[in-house]
Amino acid sequence: MKISLFFLWLLHFLPLSVINTLGILVGNLAYLVASQRRRVTLTNLALCFPQWSEANCQRIAKKHFQAFATHILSQGMAWFTPLHQMKKIIHYEHFEYLEEALREGPVIILAPHFFGMDTGGICLAADVNLLSLYARHKNLDIDQQIQRHRLRWGRGKMFSRQEGIRPIVRDLKTGWAFYYHPDLDFGPKESIFVDFFTQQAATVPALARLSKLTQAKVIPSYAYQDYANGRLTIRFYKAWDHYPSDDLTFDTRRMNAFIEQRILEKPELYLWSHKRFKTRPPGESPVYK
């Protein structure tokens, strides 16, 4: 862990354009050697975009690996760069939508798994009282390091998924913002099946439930890295009207539809290497072999 931290600390001194070049090189290598993740990525792309050619899926998959590697190598910036320098790199679009919603009460920021989400969240926690969830690491030292660096500004709160949602509900009701990433496959226990492109995807419907329970407005957001040009952008959208409705499936599909729209803008920046369709509807065969 100490070696990894030292490596990230060294990298944060480099210009982002250099980190981007390194990320392309490392990503190309990872695409060749990480065969399991390559197969997962290609399977996901083929399932979601049956109209695409195999060559196009491979092209997007390679760019995905390059972006993923760049994202990892840039974590030193998020963990060690002074705030005034980060402000020159990270740009908010329509931050006024978030400010307006926060003046009216609690807010849930929908932040899907695009590369830039983690770094953007760390920076955002310097401007907003921000709550977030994370997966607790088995190694206590690594877990403490993750918390310390992600909470480096001293005004955010992190809760592990093992703690459940109660602490989030408590603080949301006092007017905090919750930076929420519900777009992974968390298994069948708490999920419902709704459309995600051409597939039925096991999706946690907690966004609508939390919004209803806490009377929080939902502000969709989209963080995407463009380190070749030395910037990362977080784009905010207007709070959803008439959300949640009385139809949980409809509300959950609305979330997936928003994510689909953003994916179509920059498909390589979404987390395709995650087994998004590991949980299958009853009677359907596994897709990852």
Half-sphere exposure for 116 (CA within 13 Å, toward CB):
26
Residue 128, SS3 per DSSP: coil
Helix axes 54-73, 16-33, angle to 10 degrees: 130
> What is the rounded CA–CA span in Å between residue 227 and residue 89?
9
Torsion-angle region of residue 283: left (phi > 0), alpha (psi -120 to 50) or beta? left
Neighbouring C-beta atoms of residue 10, cutoff 10 Å: 11
- pLDDT one digit per residue (tens) for the chain, 289 residues: 678 888 888 999 999 999 999 999 999 999 999 999 999 999 999 999 999 999 999 999 999 999 999 999 999 999 999 999 999 999 999 999 999 999 999 999 999 999 999 999 999 999 999 998 877 777 777 777 777 877 888 778 888 777 778 888 888 988 889 999 999 999 998 899 999 999 999 999 999 999 999 999 999 999 999 999 999 999 999 999 999 999 999 999 999 999 999 999 999 999 999 999 999 999 999 999 8
Amino acid at 197: F
Phi, psi dihedral angles at 110 (to 5 degrees): -75, 115
The three-state (H, E, C) secondary structure of 176-189, written as one string: CEEEECCCCCCCCC
CA pair distance 146, 159, nearest whole angstrom: 12
What residues form DSSP beta bridges with 102? none
Q: Is the CB of residue 210 less than 8 Å from the CB of residue 172?
A: yes
pTM for the predicted model, two decimal places? 0.94
